Structure 1
Amino acid sequence: MLITNAVLPDDREVDVRIEDGRIAAVEPSLDGTADIDADGKRLFPGAIDVHVHFRQPGFSHKETWETGSKSAAAGGVTTVVDQPNTDPATTDGEGFDRKAELAAASYVDYGINGGVTADWSPEELFERPLFALGEVFLADSTGEMGIDADLFADAVERAGEHDTTVTVHAEDATLFDESVKDMPAVGAGTDANADLWSAFRTPEAEEAAVERAIEVAGDTGTDVHIAHTSTPEGIEAAVDGGATCEVTTHHLFLSRDDLDDLGTHGRMNPPLRDEERRRDVYEAVADGTVDMIATDHAPHTLDEKDAGIWDAPSGVPGVETMLPLLLEEARQDRFSYERVRDLIATTPAETFGLARKGRIKEGYDADLVLFDPTEATEIDAEALHTKCQWTPFAGLPGVFPELTMVRGEVVYQDGEFGDAVGRNVREHGGQ
């Protein structure tokens, strides 16, 4: 395949030749007849979302590997990393194998994270093509994945022995503000007083847990990655401690000011923060302090979210809207295209050892996204492909791809999908 007249994130106009699923040449001009004439449109490396919940097995009414990966492809995401809190949880060999069977339906490449619980089986997990440990819940009060410091330390040590990163959900439940629960919670759904959730799960809880996770990891040499940092304090603690960190699109673009409209649809963990903190987080993303953007794509049905603030499940969808929202920031000259590329592709690939992903360069996988940088559209929930069929970003402008390619195979083009070609990146030498 030959793509001609494409503009890269660094503004070079090039032709790109693809052979056997990889980029064979990137030059100002290449011989041959164009299969795709980009006509001056932007060509990006495919986005790598290191934090999704595709819900299978166990919760396929919310999302499946097919629907989630289609949503990813339509949003320019070519690799996803799925988290372990499914049913069964991915905490032993049986859980991993069950998820791997279902992941064969994926339209994009993927990694499978192993979970840590009191009865996890590290011997079985590390025998399999595991992407990382995570999302490891350190001192968290939600769900059944929370572990104590001793078990966390054991997991970190075992991960280090297998050169595996530990991804940490950092919230210290002892610093949640329990007095908030005594306040009246009015309504449900979009009529709920959803700000109570943000008041309950305090910013201090994040910073303390980040510091604790890094301290426990100590001198093991194990790589620690902090998931969904939502505060400037949490980001600073991660950077100071030598950990990498991600920021989600909802913490980047939404704040407590949006909760009057979102209601319980805006409940997530960590919660939305005040507008001043959101601006500080945005600045840390823009100036290079934050390593990457991820989505924590965590779909629930509208019926599930339309509950009281203490009963609604936490989480929002986002895998299809991440890159379009960031490309709109670049279109408005708030981010450079190179910064967007680094946040969603180059740095995630380097951080997690995906040696042939994240760049448009000879020898790399032909994971490519083509879009018109002048074409922004309003995000419409009905046009998205996630099974839950809603989004917290409805009405915001986004620049959506017109073509997404995984290892040289077109998986999405102009609203139509190709074949499900996804494979486990750890089964192919980390590629």
Structure 2
Amino acid sequence: MSTLIVGATLADGRVRDVRVEGGEITAVEPSLDPKPDERVREADGRRLLPGAIDAHVHVREPGYSHKETWETGSKSAAAGGVTTIVDQPNTTPPTTTGAAFDEKAGLAEKSLVEYGINGGVTAEWDPESLFDRPLFALGEVFLADSTGDMGIESDLFSNAVAAAADEDEVVTVHAEDADLFDESARERDAGGTGRDADADPWSQYRAAEAEAAAVERAVEVGADSDADIHIAHTSTPEGVDAAKSGGATCEVTPHHLFLSREDATELGTFGRMNPPLRSEDRRAGMWDRLVEGGIDIVATDHAPHTVEEKDASLWDAPSGVPGVETMLPLLLAEAREGNVSYERVRDVTAANVAEIFGLPRKGRIEVGRDADLVLFDPEATREIRGEDLHSKCGWTPFEGRTGVFPDLTMVRGSVVYEGGTFGDTVGENVREAAE
């Protein structure tokens, strides 16, 4: 059945009727007459955006389904206006071989939204079998993180970048230089609660300088191979500037946009992530770069852990926070207040993501594009509460903040979320859909 959305306000302020047929947008006009038997949806002053594409999600399955599954993670995405999620490779088994890719792809068929699967790089990775699959990208490749297999001068990283360049694949880099981590921060930590913003042990340990140094090395390696380098979860203005000056694209997470070490007292170990929260000045600098265009995309690094796992000492708690359901609502609340334009929200959550990762049918409300759409009322704000969200982990670092949540989420013309109710699974790989 075709659908006609009447009187929707687009990101640029134009009011348009939008027709959806066969999973794609077939008309965008000031006024359209309904066809016989066409379903008509009145926007009634609401805004319509392209569905968000979250290029950095840790679904956790296989291996850690007690934290998140493709079903729960994709429901959380749909309820937050995210119509495509891209899963990272650090599951068990890691997505470093064709067989591991196939296992994950089978589980991903339970997804309510479209998805991409990133391959990973370890000493055991099998590029030939990975590149034989509909891979979304290489990522999250650990250039210089102490939990990964690579150092900043690793031949493995250089070889992986060269292989990806040959296959025209984007390389998503987790850029931190472990040689610049401050081991003495452990000694200065008086109790490991993570609640002392002045002591700031986790941020001092994973020093801000470690990010910019690794970004600079990543873009150098990328230039040597003529590869497309994308820097994951930049947390400092210096890291963003290094990426852009080196010709790389970069992303920022909602937690690095909206949270800083000033939130440490409230968050405690629930605020531990890699890279860590930074100073309020650096957070403000990241927001300025988002608004002014220096940051390419927002991606959540959705990394759910259970409450029991996070309720540990700072040095024992796992790193990561959930965010796929709250990314767009937080940004829409800022747009509602005039702190960022709706066009900029569209670009950093959809249009730019589609361009960077080669998804020509996604990211904009135009004829011929996939009908991945989000309808919302800018005036319908609500308090964010973990108990109301759909991630299996059941908590959020944005507790008590204001969000604007979607009334309706469509994936290729199918309603996957409306008013608290979920539709049927989609179960199609986004790279195949783009082709």
TM class by smaller structure: over 0.9
Q: Could you tell me which residue of structure 1 aligns to residue 415 of structure 2?
A: 410
Q: Could you tell me which residue of structure 2 aligns to residue 279 of structure 1?
A: 284
Q: CA separation in 2, counterparts of 1:101 and 1:61?
A: 18
Shift of 1:195: 2.6
Shift of 1:143: 5.1
Q: CA separation in 2, counterparts of 1:191 and 1:259?
A: 6
> Given the superposition, is the C-alpha separation of residues 56 and 121 from structure 1 closer, same or farther in structure 2, using an over 3 Å criterion?
same
Q: Could you tell me which residue of structure 1 aligns to residue 26 of structure 2?
A: 24
Matched letter for residue 221 of structure 1? D
Conserved 8 A contact 2:310-2:318: yes
Q: Could you tell me which residue of structure 1 aligns to residue 4 of structure 2?
A: 2
2:294 equivalent to 1:320: no
Conserved 8 A contact 2:88-2:140: yes
Shift of 1:170: 0.1
Report SS of the residue matched to 1:35. strand
Aligned partner (choices 43, 52, 55) of residue 47 of structure 1: 52
Q: Could you tell me which residue of structure 2 aligns to residue 377 of structure 1?
A: 382
Shift of 1:190: 6.5
Among the aligned pairs, what percent are the same residue?
Answer: 67
Conserved 8 A contact 2:194-2:264: no
Q: CA separation in 1, counterparts of 2:100 and 2:83?
A: 24
Taking the TM superposition and a 5 Å limit, the aligned residue runs for 1:29-428 are 29-32=31-34, 35-142=40-147, 149-186=154-191, 188=193, 195-428=200-433
Q: CA separation in 2, counterparts of 1:214 and 1:227?
A: 13
Matched letter for residue 262 of structure 2? D
> Given the superposition, is the C-alpha separation of residues 209 and 317 from structure 1 closer, same or farther in structure 2, using an over 3 Å criterion?
same
Conserved 8 A contact 1:22-1:366: yes
Report SS of the residue matched to 1:219. helix
Q: Which runs of 5+ in 1 are unaligned?
A: none
Matched letter for residue 114 of structure 1? G
Matched letter for residue 95 of structure 1? A
Q: Deviations over 1:66-98 (max 9, x none)?
A: 000000000000011100000000000111000
Q: CA separation in 2, counterparts of 1:184 and 1:167?
A: 32
Matched letter for residue 255 of structure 2? H
Conserved 8 A contact 2:141-2:172: yes
> Given the superposition, is the C-alpha separation of residues 146 and 98 from structure 1 closer, same or farther in structure 2, using an over 3 Å criterion?
farther
Shift of 1:184: 3.4
Matched letter for residue 27 of structure 1? E
Count of matched residue pairs: 430
Matched letter for residue 357 of structure 1? K
Matched letter for residue 320 of structure 1? E
Matched letter for residue 265 of structure 1? F
Shift of 1:182: 1.0
Q: CA separation in 2, counterparts of 1:40 and 1:280?
A: 34
Shift of 1:192: 10
Report SS of the residue matched to 1:111. strand
Q: CA separation in 1, counterparts of 2:256 and 2:395?
A: 18
Normalising by structure 2, what TM-score? Answer: 0.96
Q: CA separation in 1, counterparts of 2:48 and 2:316?
A: 43
Conserved 8 A contact 2:5-2:41: yes
Matched letter for residue 347 of structure 1? N
Matched letter for residue 84 of structure 1? P
Q: CA separation in 2, counterparts of 1:122 and 1:262?
A: 40
Q: CA separation in 2, counterparts of 1:407 and 1:302?
A: 35
Shift of 1:218: 2.5
Conserved 8 A contact 2:152-2:177: no
Matched letter for residue 381 of structure 2? A
Conserved 8 A contact 1:168-1:213: yes
Q: CA separation in 2, counterparts of 1:175 and 1:190?
A: 23
Q: Which runs of 5+ in 2 are unaligned?
A: none
Between 363-372 and 188-197, the greater mean CA deviation after superposition? 188-197
Report SS of the residue matched to 2:224. coil
Conserved 8 A contact 1:46-1:369: yes
Shift of 1:61: 0.2
Q: Could you tell me which residue of structure 2 aligns to residue 14 of structure 1?
A: 16
Matched letter for residue 31 of structure 1? D
Q: CA separation in 2, counterparts of 1:123 and 1:59?
A: 27
> Given the superposition, is the C-alpha separation of residues 145 and 211 from structure 1 closer, same or farther in structure 2, using an over 3 Å criterion?
closer
Conserved 8 A contact 1:189-1:306: no
Q: Deviations over 1:252-296 (max 9, x none)?
A: 000000011100000000000000010001100010010010000
Shift of 1:219: 3.1
Matched letter for residue 25 of structure 1? A
Q: CA separation in 1, counterparts of 2:236 and 2:197?
A: 24
Report SS of the residue matched to 1:168. strand
Conserved 8 A contact 1:185-1:193: no
Shift of 1:149: 2.0
Q: CA separation in 2, counterparts of 1:361 and 1:404?
A: 17
